[in-house]
């Protein structure tokens, strides 16, 4: 495996050492080795925002900690949930006396560990409310939202929730903004190659050359179809058809996030975006907030994900509010 690592079992901690050295203005260490918190804290106590998830999705999750975004993050090993203790420690770091919003993705390990951590925090007198992102519309049928995974739509959820917290809103209002964001968000991915967890040393799934897996998950979870690799324009059509069939975006202003899964050249993400933009406008949907880049990755997987969020005036305001982090900065 030709990669930039030392001991494959220590990639996460080696990476965190570098993150802390590179960004002391954004992130600081805590007493818990798998919890980082924002280096910037406003004078006024605010609702604390926490997220967490496995490593290997960078800049998610730690890359979305900073002013206007999350206050603390719990970090798991590569593609593995953070522990309950990590989430609990992150809640304590984020807490400023007004409660904590834990905004994370729908995976079995995360659900279990967050649930335990919420109970532990309650004993500390910290009220934690959660929103569980389930934006991946390819991961389960529409009538089973509880089985759908959270993917890149989480970024927009953190952005809206973080902005609402920065406005001084109370915990219920922050939770409402985060839930509204994810309820109005759908995502889908297409995988073009597998990826290798360093500690495993070889891919734990396969995508045959010349094929693409539509609806693939962020850890290589099976999608809804394996098709011959199509031109970018057809990929755009396939992804949009699934998303627009799941939620009605007609006549809406939308946020569009095209994220690479790791190895796809940025110029190709723009090729895809060009088609998405054109197809949306042809359907009377206006892409008014646009992100194209490697925002939520899966190690060195080749492929893309598409996320669409319906925007009302509030969500539009929250997405455009100032923020600063490794993964997403919005000028004030």
Nearest distance in Å: CB 175, a second copy:
29
Q: Which is nearer to a second copy, 170 or 300 (CB)?
A: 300
Nearest distance in Å: CB 248, a second copy:
23
Nearest distance in Å: CB 63, a second copy:
8
User: Could you tell me the end-to-end alpha-carbon distance of the chain, in angstroms, rounded to an integer?
Assistant: 43
Nearest distance in Å: CB 206, a second copy:
12
- CA distances 28 to 16, 19, 126, Å, are 10, 9, 22
Q: What is the DSSP letter of 83?
A: P
Establish if 56 lies at the interface with a second copy (CB under 8 A): yes
The residues that bridge with 78 in the sheet, in sequence order, are 55
To the query of whether residue 57 is one of the catalytic residues in this protein, the response is yes
Establish if 178 lies at the interface with a second copy (CB under 8 A): no
Cβ-contact 74, 21 below 8 angstroms: no
Helix locations, 145-227, DSSP H: 153-166, 171-183
Q: Which is nearer to a second copy, 132 or 151 (CB)?
A: 151
Establish if 302 lies at the interface with a second copy (CB under 8 A): yes
Exactly one of 57, 88, 218, 275 is catalytic; which is it?
Answer: 57
Establish if 274 lies at the interface with a second copy (CB under 8 A): yes
Cβ-contact 143, 124 below 8 angstroms: no
d(CA 86, CA 91): 9
Q: Which is nearer to a second copy, 122 or 266 (CB)?
A: 266
Exactly one of 23, 218, 219, 275 is catalytic; which is it?
Answer: 219
Region near a second copy per CB under 8 A, out of 104-112, 175-183, 272-280, 312-320: 272-280
SS3 22: helix
Structure tokens at 141: 């049928």
CA 76 to the chain's CA centroid? 14
Establish if 69 lies at the interface with a second copy (CB under 8 A): no
Relative to beta strand 253-260, strand 286-293 is: parallel
Cβ-contact 87, 50 below 8 angstroms: yes
Q: For a second copy, which residue of 232, 246, 286, 314 counts as binding (CB under 8 A)?
A: 232
d(CA 266, CA 255): 19
φ and ψ at residue 253, rounded to 5 degrees: -85, 135
To the query of whether residue 218 is one of the catalytic residues in this protein, the response is no
Establish if 315 lies at the interface with a second copy (CB under 8 A): no
Establish if 108 lies at the interface with a second copy (CB under 8 A): no
Q: For a second copy, which residue of 167, 183, 246, 268 counts as binding (CB under 8 A)?
A: 268
Q: Transcribe 271-324 into DSSP letters.
A: HHHHHHHHHHHHTT-EEEEEEEE-SS--TTB-EEEEEEEEE-HHHHHHHHS-B-
Using CB under 8 A as the binding criterion, the count of chain residues that bind a second copy stands at 67
Nearest distance in Å: CB 253, a second copy:
15
Interacting residues with a second copy between 248 and 267 (CB under 8 A) = 262-267
Establish if 241 lies at the interface with a second copy (CB under 8 A): no
Q: 208-239 b/e with 16+ CB inside 10 Å = b?
A: eeeebbbbbbbbbbebeeeeeeeebeebbebb
Catalytic positions are: 57, 219
Interface positions with a second copy (CB under 8 A):
2-7, 11-12, 14-19, 21-23, 55-56, 58-59, 63, 78, 192-193, 207, 209-212, 229, 231-233, 235, 262-275, 277-278, 287, 290, 292-294, 297, 299-300, 302-304, 324, 326, 329, 331-332
């Amino acid at each position: 495996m030709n990669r930039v690592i030392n001991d494959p079992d220590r990639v996460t901690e080696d990476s965190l050492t570098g993150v802390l050295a590179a960004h002391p203005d954004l992130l600081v260490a805590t007493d818990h080795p798998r919890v980082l918190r924002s280096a910037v804290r406003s004078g006024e106590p605010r609702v604390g925002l926490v997220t967490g998830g496995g490593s290997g999705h960078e800049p998610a999750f730690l890359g979305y900690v900073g002013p206007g975004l999350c206050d603390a993050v719990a970090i798991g090993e590569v593609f593995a949930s953070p522990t309950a203790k990590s989430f609990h420690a992150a809640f304590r770091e984020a807490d400023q006396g007004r409660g904590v919003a834990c905004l994370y993705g729908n995976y079995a390990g995360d659900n279990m560990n967050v649930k335990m951590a919420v109970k532990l925090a309650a004993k500390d007198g910290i009220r934690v409310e959660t929103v569980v992102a389930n934006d991946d519309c390819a991961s389960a049928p529409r009538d089973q939202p509880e089985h759908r995974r959270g993917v890149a739509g989480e970024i927009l959820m953190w952005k809206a929730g973080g902005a609402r917290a920065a406005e001084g809103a109370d915990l219920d209002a922050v939770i409402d903004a985060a839930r509204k964001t994810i309820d109005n968000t759908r995502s889908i991915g297409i995988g073009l190659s597998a990826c290798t967890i360093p500690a495993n040393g070889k891919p734990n799934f396969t995508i045959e050359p010349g094929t693409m897996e539509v609806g693939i998950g962020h850890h290589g979870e099976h999608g809804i179809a394996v098709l011959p690799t199509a031109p970018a324009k057809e990929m755009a059509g396939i992804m949009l058809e699934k998303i627009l069939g799941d939620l009605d975006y007609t006549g809406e202003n939308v946020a569009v996030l095209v994220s690479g899964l790791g190895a796809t050249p940025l110029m190709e993400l723009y090729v895809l975006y060009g088609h998405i933009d054109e197809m949306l406008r042809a359907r009377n949907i206006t892409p008014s907030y646009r992100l194209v880049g490697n925002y939520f990755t899966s190690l060195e997987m080749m492929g893309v994900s598409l996320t669409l969020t319906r925007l009302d005036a509030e969500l539009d305001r929250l997405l455009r509010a100032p923020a600063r982090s490794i993964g997403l900065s919005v000028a004030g």
